[in-house]
Amino acid sequence: MQQLNILAIVGSYRNEESYSYKTLKLIEERMNALQLTQFEYVFLQRVGLPFCDGCLSCVREGEKSCPESAKIGSLVKKIEEADGIALAAPVYTFNVTGLMKNFCEYFMFKRNRPSFFGKKAIVVTAASGGGHKVVLDFLQRTAAAWGCDVVGRLGISSTQMKRKIYIEKVAVATQDVAEKFLAGIVKADQQSPDFATLINFRVMQVMSNAMQTTLNYRYWSERGWLDANYYTDVSVNPVTRLAVGFIAWRIRRARKKGKVSPVR
Ligand SMILES: Cc1cc2nc3c(=O)[nH]c(=O)nc-3n(C[C@H](O)[C@H](O)[C@H](O)COP(=O)(O)O)c2cc1C
């Protein structure tokens, strides 16, 4: 049986001690029991990226101009080569850790010029109490904006991980995520984009159209995305397409007429 290779990116400062990692390990074990699977773990704490300095050269000139392009380029290659990816980070102050957020900032160019279409992803978080949804939503929306299909989500409560009854529930949940991840990879189709993913596409389309001197514009133009309904020809729910089209039209009109208001 062919071995599946998963790239797991861990955004906990506690590396192998972290429940974010331990939860991924459980998912790996469950997948491996179903089909030979190996996770390669990238601990962002060890990758040692400085804070993104916001130069935006990745958007204007390309990701190779990023001061950290060697590290970022190698991570892009690992994602491209993997059968699937996992993003995991704990909840800190009811949000994602700075470590994971900083990594996602370096990957901002991938939101602008997505390419991982059809690549299956799962997202995982750990918190002592609450805030899971904010982090899972952020990780899911980030992976989806890169082009991935997010097929599983799991948030665990680290303070409960010594209780037998909770550990049993986590076993059921990790099994479920493992099965969905495996099924998605084996099926190898591309998911129809949901409402949020389509909105993201339209917003990026409006922005790319407005940045005619940038690499982004060329990238979008070469792929025929500047006036397309979506990045690929995957089927889109017609009602969602109409609703999103209307919102995009309003955004374009507001920008054209100078009617964009400060947000309160
Ligand atoms: C700075 C900081 C902020 C935290 N904020 C939250 C929080 O908002 N909600 C929560 O439930 N737990 C919070 N925690 C607890 C962690 O989410 C918890 O310890 C989790 O297990 C850490 O994940 P890890 O085991 O993957 O490193 C916080 C911990 C730290 C150090």
In short, whether 130's Cβ falls inside 6 Å of ligand 1 is: yes
User: Helix, strand or coil for residue 53?
Assistant: coil
Q: Is the Cβ atom of 31 under 6 angstroms away from ligand 1? A: no
Ligand 1 neighbourhood includes 66 CB (under 6 angstroms):
no
Give residue limits of the domains in the chain.
Answer: 4-187, 195-256
Give the pLDDT band (50/70/90) at residue 197: very high
**Residue 2 burial (CB < 10 Å; 0-12/13-18/19+)?**
exposed
Q: Tell whether the model's pLDDT for residue 1 goes beyond 80.
A: no
pTM of the model: 0.96
pLDDT digits (tens, 9 = 90+) for 146-194: 999 999 999 999 999 999 999 999 999 999 999 999 999 999 899 999 9
CB 106 within 8 A of CB 52: yes
CA of 28: how far to CAs of 37, 75, 134, 229, 252, in Å? 7, 20, 24, 36, 44
CA 63 – ligand 1 centroid, Å: 32
**Ligand 1 within 6 A of CB of 182:** no
Which CATH architecture describes the domain 4-187?
A: 3-Layer(aba) Sandwich (3.40)
